Amino acid sequence: MPSVGFVVPVLPGKEQADLDWMSEMNGPRREDYESSWKQLGVTRHAVWHQETPDGTVAVVYMEADDIGRAMEGVASSDDPFHQWFRERVQDVHGIDLQSGPRPQAQHVHGHSS
């Protein structure tokens, strides 16, 4: 299964908003979250906070049948959940998924058993 990991900044003062957003996706919006990602071929999506000397970052990991298609789908879908998701990304991370560059990652080293 193709996978990608990347880091995005959490805007100063938005750490709790990011945690609240993640809780909402694990709670009242869980069904929408799971079904909308599944439509895009995403089989796993996980996010962790990491404190750095330059502030908090969100470490994102995603597995999907087609990473590029999944990322494009999140950015362009008319699905109400994806629209809400893009608004949250803009608010918490300052990234406009519809017009800005999408996170890119390059695999440089790994081990599989």
Given a cut of 50, whether residue 14 has pLDDT beyond it is yes
Q: Domain 3-93 classified CATH 2.60.120?
A: no
Q: Tell me, what amino acid is at 67?
A: I
Check if the beta carbon of residue 45 is closer than 8 Å to that of residue 62. Answer: yes
Q: Which pLDDT value is given to residue 39?
A: 92
Q: Which of 35, 18, 108, 23 is nearest to 73 (CA)?
A: 35
Helix (H) or strand (E) holding 68: helix 67-76
Alpha-carbon torsion 53, 58, 64, 67, what sign?
negative
Q: Which tens digit of pLDDT belongs to each residue from 19-41? A: 999 999 999 999 999 999 999 99
